Amino acid sequence: MSNLLRHALSTPVRGITWRHGVRSFFSMPPGVPITASARPNSAPQAWSPTPYVTETIGGGWHTYDIFSRLLKERIVCLNGSVDETTSASVVAQLLFLEADNPEKPISLYINSPGGSVTAGLAIYDTMTYIRCPVTTICMGQAASMGSLLLCGGTPGNRFCLPHSSIMIHQPSGGYSGQASDIAIHAKEILRVRLTLNKIYQRHLTKPRTLDDIEKLMERDYFMDAQEALDFGIIDRILDKREAEGEDGMK
């Protein structure tokens, strides 16, 4: 028996059965006790399990990690910092869903403190490039590049939950080297700032001049859900998911 198979068979599994024949489960990694009590004299371990969902379809079992299962429903999750790895994953999912059905909407759920400008712009450009309408929903926070992606969704379909936090600011960066090289990079940062300001201006629901946007973004500018709605970053606040036929929106 291979070591991989022996480990799989010896790994404890927890399961939760849902309605409609759906069962979700996750495996416990080695060294993590099944009980809730901590080991004596040991530091607590930070561990977040990845849930899996098993469906019975046509007499066969199909198992997915929870994010792949959400992808089947055309839901893409952007959680955490925006970097090259996250960007590549989100871009690939958007392109896949467009190939699957170019007319059907995609929902992008955002909970991000922001991150790399280039990685974020790769996601933004893909959102505007594909034919599918992209609905953006902020839950938790959409800061920095996260707020630009929230604002960059399809007009009329940019939402946030009631206690979301949205923050905009100018890009930051640093460079050391020869004076001429520093001047080149400073010029590039100013170009990027102007590009981002123009994107916000294009997507805001309220008309604002570039000068107004630049002044607001001189420092971190935080908004709650209502302030983001008034500012023009989102179209509506989602309060509670209602029965079909009711929008549950403000």
**7 catalytic, yes or no?**
no
Q: For 41, left (φ over 0), alpha (ψ -120 to 50), or beta?
A: left
For residue 239, which of 231, 223, 250 has the smallest C-alpha distance? 250
Q: Which of 27, 89, 116, 169 is catalytic?
A: 169
What element of type H or E holds 54?
strand 52-57
Q: Is 144 a catalytic residue?
A: yes
CB-facing half-sphere around the CA of 56: CA atoms within 13 A:
8
Query: Residue 218 corresponds to which amino acid?
Result: E
CA distance 67 to 75: 8
Rounded distance between C-alpha atoms, residue 172 and residue 67, angstroms: 32
How far apart are alpha carbons 66 and 46 in whole angstroms? 20
Helix (H, G, I), strand (E, B) or coil at 62: strand
CA distances from 31 to 10, 44, 50, 67, 145 (A): 12, 12, 17, 25, 38
Catalytic entry in 24, 144, 147, 164: 144
**Hey, which residues are catalytic here?**
144, 169
